[in-house]
A and B are shown apart, each in its own frame.
Chain A
Amino acid sequence: MTLTRRQFTGLGLAALAAPASIIRPAYAQPKPGDELVVGIWGGAQEKIVKQFIEPKLVEKYGCKISYVLGGTTDRRARAYAERGRPSFDVLYLNIYESRQAVADGVTQAPTAAVERFDALYPLAQKGGYGVAFNPCTVVYDGTAAKTPVTSWKDMWNPEWKGRIAWPNGLGAEGISALMMTAKSFSYDITEFDKVLEKVAELKPFAGIQSSQAQLYDMIDQDVADLSVEFASFTRKYAETRNPDCVIAAPEEGMAVTMNVACITEGTRNQKLAEEWINLHLSEEVMVAYAREVYYSPTVKDIEMPDDVKDKVITGGQVDDLVDFDWDYINAHRAEWQAKFDRVLAG
């Protein structure tokens, strides 16, 4: 085989570039006064990181931690606008946003530079560093059910007609509900129109719920009896507000959703960001997450205490979570959202 001059030049350049991609760039050591900007949800998430992560990092480096609180959509929009020159160092996103953000060059792909990277389940090593599994499933008012829900298909039972609060659009709960419908009725991911038609059979909805807080209100106020929601928050809701609320364990499985910590491309605090995430993956934080909101751990090497171990997903149960082709979903997101609005919402 003979090489042309162009092929030879190309190979030469590739050989020169290869070490550069393997050798990790030398990042400056954190120093007192450095500021790490973290974009995260408010409420329990903010409380836990402030309690368990911030003090350790501040004590070690004398740095300052600042938070930008808000929903993931606001954070993501801002991070996209700031691509390459971010005001965030660490950004918390959901599973599909995090993978798209890496593909779009907004955040970094995960690496073993974060010490506990290897302890992560493989599922949590994509799009960033998974910090909490938060599966979605069918949740319902047990007193309104003639028989327990054991399949996603049970939503089509006549008893739920007019009593379902379908999750809005293509958010974490919404896409879980749609994709689990596809899986349960054996539709291919390319047959989105059929999925919508199937879900449209459930109309009229009692409402379209835009957040778990809104759903719990709907159930409390007897507006709706069934929906698709995060098992974690719903368990908290059932224990504190509504013991009649049931979290189904459908035979088709629960849909995987995950909170992901991402380091922005272009951050000036790479080391601090990596240490922050490393601390987030510690046993202490994972247990605190489980106790506070029943978030399931994303690392394999920890033992959940007895008081929460039966209420979260661990070990082999992680393999039972249903994952989707997020690249395909992300590529069709705008088109699907437009169809959802026309067929199901309003």
Chain B
Amino acid sequence: MRRWIGPVLATPVTAWLLLAFAAPLAVVVLLSLHEYPSPFGPVLVHPSLVQFRTILTDGFYLSIIAETVALGLAVTVVSAILGYPLAHWLARMPSRWRALAFAVILIPLLTNVVVRSLGIILLLSPKGLLNSVAALVGLGPFNGMLFTHGAVIVALAQVFMPFMVLALYDNLQNTSPRIHEAAESLGASPAIRFLTVDFPLSLPGLRSGIIVVFLMTVTSYVSATLLGGKKVWTIGMLVMQEAIQNLNATMASALSLVMTVVGLAFIGLVTVALGRFMAWRKGTPSAPMDIPAPLARSVDLAGPVLSKLALYCAIGLLLLPLGLVVVQSFNDVPLATAAGFKGFTLEWYRRVLIAGDYTANFLISVKLAFASVVTGLILALPAGFALARHPFRGRGMLLAFWMLPLSLPGIAIAVGMLKLLQIYLAVPPFLGLMAVHVVVILPFMITLLTTSVLSLDPALEEASASLGANAVRTFLHVTLPSLAPGLFAAGLVGFLMSFGEVTVTAFLTTARLTTLPVRIYSEATFALEPTAHAISALLIGVTIIALGVLGKFVRLDRLYSR
């Protein structure tokens, strides 16, 4: 009986990806095999490997691939170092405050990536907040912070760290207090307990976080373009340039596929490397961690200080740029990027709230994100169970296919979709756009939900069954509530990703279906007014109020903790 459960559970998501992702992917593969670009030529031509040969023998391309990987690793390390204390802080937060504390990572995610990058500019610029504060204590000025790799790493960490925190949080908050009590009763200090208990138990979350942050970083281009001043290159920027500016879909496709291979190799390496430290997952006893006494004392002394410092840095990095976004929303300047506070105005709020400049775009984005999340959850949950509980032959291959949209730059999916546009136009635009959004968010949802399913305690379900509940009843009353944090995290990540998606959407938007991020991005490429900051500030305000109110009346703690 058990043999067919896995494949059946894996079928819906596979079917969806075959329809909405495999087709553009196939087009990308075919385009990459063209000898030379031809915007109006057929997709199927005599295959040639000349594009791949060019990439692999041209020092320019190789150096950008190396630069991109280095950037991805740096952002991942920074996100992990800053994300751990933040996730730990959230997981240990009293339940009545947890909903509000979650605002620290939800608010940045709700803010448009263009606006967030502009916030980082206001933070790092020669006349920005950091330099102003440094000047107060007689330091600086530090004029070289912008348009450097450091600036891009900071901006990308600000954008992607919330994904790391969400992945870690789910694992950390699942650790039973009894395990902590046991560690303490055996003499472990909080710092040693973290190193020997919390950290190993959170490795599945860390693995998910590392993969997600790395892949998102190496395929990104908005923050790198705005903060790097073209002194920093990523492969995403190059793909964008080839596909859009040069109309060279052939080279763009080949570059995307090379980056996809790099991404898949990274996934394999991380999975194998971290898997070695998770022997307990397979029931194999782990070797006890032996920490020499002097080191333990050092950890006890430095641990609390360093973790607090990292926590403050994390919160500061996430919130300071947004504070500047809020300030800018009241600034009487003609363009969003104008530095310095010139005067107080409510004009930008009038444009949003009274003139309704962005209302239609906002509603489209919400509808699209909601529909994408519901569909994504329906598809990803069975996939999570298939991966975590019902091994079957070919599961590894299927997982690689499910994860492909993550490692393939969004721009490449767009390139494939552009070629398929004539077919795509026959599909209702909303449905077509939703199909692609679901493709973009599915890898995240599958990763997060698989981690959640792995964390489920099978003993609870066995207890339910032994008390006479059938499978459906057990699923609804035991399994599903236990999965609530994971579902919440996956739904949230999916909603925010869909709500903020701009790369693919910008290509597939129609006159009647322009989303809010596409609208803001379009204005940013021309002349962005602080109206974008006003709408971001409103979203921040609404998020804080909603989380505060919900947390008070609806017992959100039940959603987070089991």
- CB < 8 Å neighbour of B233 from A42, A83, A333, A346: A346
Q: How far is the CB of A330 from chain B (nearest CB, A)?
A: 11
Contact B529 A43 (CB under 8 A): yes
A222 / chain B contacts, CB cutoff of 8 Å: 126-127, 143
| B50 → A minimal CB distance (Å) | 14
A68 within 8 A of B: yes
| Interface 9-mer from A109-117, A179-187, A212-220, A319-327 | A212-220
Question: What separation, in Å, do the CA atoms of A71 and B222 have in the docked complex?
Answer: 14
Stretch at the interface among A74-82, A139-147, A272-280, A308-316: A74-82
In the complex, which residues of chain A have a beta carbon less than 8 angstroms from the beta carbon of B525? 41, 70-71, 211
Instruction: Give A51-83 as 1s and 0s: 1 = Cβ < 8 Å from B's Cβ atoms.
Output: 000000000000000111111011011101111
The one of B126, B143, B337 in contact with A213, judged by C-beta atoms closer than 8 angstroms, is: B337
Contacts of B231 in A (CB 8 A): 205, 207-208, 345-346
Q: Could you say which residues of chain B place their CB within 8 Å of the CB of A151?
A: none
Q: How far, in Å, is A210 (CB) from chain B's closest CB?
A: 6
* In contact, A74 and B506 (Cβ under 8 angstroms): yes
- CB atoms of B338 and A170 under 8 A apart: no
Chain A: minimal CB distance from B91 (Å): 39
Per the 8 Å Cβ criterion, residues 223-249 of B in contact with A are 225-226, 229-231, 233, 238, 241, 243-248
Q: How far is the CA of A43 from the CA of B521 in the complex (A)?
A: 11
CB under 8 Å from chain B, chain A span 165-187? 165, 168-171
Tell me, rounded to whole Å, the shortest Cβ–Cβ distance linking A111 to chain B. 24
How long is the Cα–Cα vector from A345 to B507 in the complex, in angstroms? 26
Is B526's CB within 8 Å of the partner chain A?
Answer: yes
Q: Does A200 contact B (CB under 8 A)?
A: no
- Choose among A66, A209, A217 the residue with the greatest number of B CB atoms under 10 Å from its CB: A217
Cα-based distance from A205 to B425 in the complex (angstroms):
44
Any chain A CB within 8 A of the CB of B511?
yes
Q: Which of B64, B230, B243, B527 contacts A77 (CB 8 A)?
A: B243
* The one of A169, A206, A212 that contacts B245, using a Cβ cutoff of 8 Å: A169
Q: Is the CB of A208 within 8 A of B230?
A: yes
Interchain CB contact under 8 A, A214 and B506: no
B528 contacts the other chain (Cβ, under 8 Å)?
Answer: yes
Residues of A within 8 A of B526 (CB): 41-43, 45, 71, 211
User: Which of B37, B233, B245, B338 has a CB less than 8 Å from the CB of A345?
Assistant: B233
Interface: A7 (CB within 8 A): no
C-alpha spacing A38/B510, complex, angstroms: 10
Contacts of A85 in B (CB 8 A): 422, 425
Within 8 A of B (CB), among A25-46: 35, 37-38, 41-45
Are A213 and B335 in contact, with the CB atoms below 8 A?
Answer: yes
Chain A positions 77-102 with a Cβ under 8 Å from a chain B Cβ: 77-78, 80-83, 85, 87-88
Residue numbers in B under 8 Å from A165 (CB-CB): 229
Query: Could you tell me if B511 and A67 are in contact, using CB atoms closer than 8 angstroms?
Result: yes
- Is B40 engaged at the interface, CB distance under 8 Å to the other chain? yes
Complex contact B528–A213 (CB within 8 A): yes
Q: Does B509 interact with chain A (Cβ within 8 Å)?
A: yes
A4 within 8 A of B: no
| CB under 8 Å from chain A, chain B span 322-355 | 333-340
Question: What total of chain A residues lie within 8 Å of the partner, measured CB to CB?
Answer: 60
Contact present for B125 and A221 (CB under 8 Å): yes
Q: Give Cα A280 to B165, complex, Å.
A: 51
B514 within 8 A of A: yes
A residues less than 8 Å from B241 (CB atoms): 169, 337, 341
Is A334 close to B, CB under 8 A?
Answer: yes
Determine how close the nearest CB of chain A comes to the CB of B120; give it in whole angstroms: 12
- Closest CB of chain B to A70's CB: distance in Å? 4
Interface residue tally on B, bucketed by range: 35 or more
B226 touches A214 (CB 8 A): yes
> Within 8 Å of chain B (Cβ to Cβ): is A223?
yes
Q: How far is the CA of A20 from the CA of B12 in the complex (A)?
A: 55
Tell me whether B418 is interfacial, beta carbon within 8 Å.
yes
Min Cβ gap B424→A in Å is: 9
Indicate if A2 sits at the interface (CB-CB under 8 A). Answer: no
Nearest chain A residue, comparing its CB with the CB of B125: A221
Q: Does B402 lie at the interface of the complex (its beta carbon under 8 Å from any beta carbon of A)?
A: no
CB-contact partner of B522 in A66, A69, A83, A170, under 8 A: A69
Does B229 lie within 8 Å of A208, measured CB to CB?
yes
A6 interface residue per 8 A CB criterion: no
Smallest Cβ distance from A287 to chain B, in angstroms? 20
Asked if A236 is an interface residue, CB under 8 A from chain B, the answer is yes
Q: A194 at interface (Cβ–Cβ under 8 A)? A: no
- Which residues on the B side are within 8 Å of A218 (C-beta)? 229
Q: How far is the CA of A45 from the CA of B60 in the complex (A)?
A: 38
* B residues near A171, Cβ cutoff 8 Å: 245
Inter-subunit contact A74/B244 (CB<8 Å): yes
B101 an interface residue at 8 Å Cβ cutoff?
A: no
Asked whether any CB of chain B lies closer than 8 Å to the CB of A192, the reply is no
Whether A69 pairs with B519 at a CB distance below 8 angstroms is yes
User: Counting CB contacts under 8 A, is A118 at the interface?
Assistant: no
A294 shortest CB reach to chain B, Å: 13
A85-B422, A216-B337, A220-B339 in contact; A70/B527 too (CB < 8 A)? no
Shortest Cβ distance from A208 into B: residue: B230
Interface: A104 (CB within 8 A): yes
Determine the residue in chain A with the shortest Cβ distance to B518.
Answer: A70
CB of A233 within 8 Å of the partner chain: yes
Instruction: Identify which of A44, A45, A68, A76 gathers the most chain B CB atoms within 10 Å of its CB.
Output: A68
Verify if B524 is at the interface (C-beta below 8 Å from A).
Answer: yes
Q: For residue B230, which residues in chain A have a CB less than 8 angstroms away from its CB? A: 168, 207-210, 345-346
Most buried by A among B238, B512, B527: B527
Cα A80 to Cα B39 in complex, Å, equals: 7
Asked if A317 CB lies within 8 Å of chain B CBs, one says no
Cβ contact within 8 Å between A221 and B126: yes
Contact of A207 among B127, B147, B509, B518 (CB under 8 A): B147
Contact (Cβ within 8 A) B418 A221: no
Residue from A81, A223, A241 in contact with B126 in the complex, judged by beta carbons closer than 8 Å: A223
Q: List 27 A-B contacts (CB under 8 A).
A: A42-B526, A43-B529, A66-B511, A66-B512, A70-B509, A73-B245, A74-B507, A74-B522, A76-B247, A78-B421, A80-B40, A207-B229, A207-B231, A208-B229, A208-B230, A210-B225, A210-B226, A213-B337, A217-B337, A220-B127, A221-B126, A221-B146, A221-B339, A341-B60, A341-B238, A341-B241, A346-B231
Other A-B contacts than A70-B506, A220-B338, 14 sampled, CB-CB below 8 A, are A42-B523, A68-B511, A69-B518, A74-B506, A81-B418, A81-B419, A82-B425, A210-B229, A214-B229, A221-B128, A241-B335, A241-B338, A334-B246, A337-B246
Give A residues with C-beta under 8 Å from B.
Answer: 35, 37-38, 41-45, 66-71, 73-74, 76-78, 80-83, 85, 87-88, 104, 165, 168-171, 205-214, 216-218, 220-223, 233, 236, 240-241, 333-334, 337, 341-342, 345-346
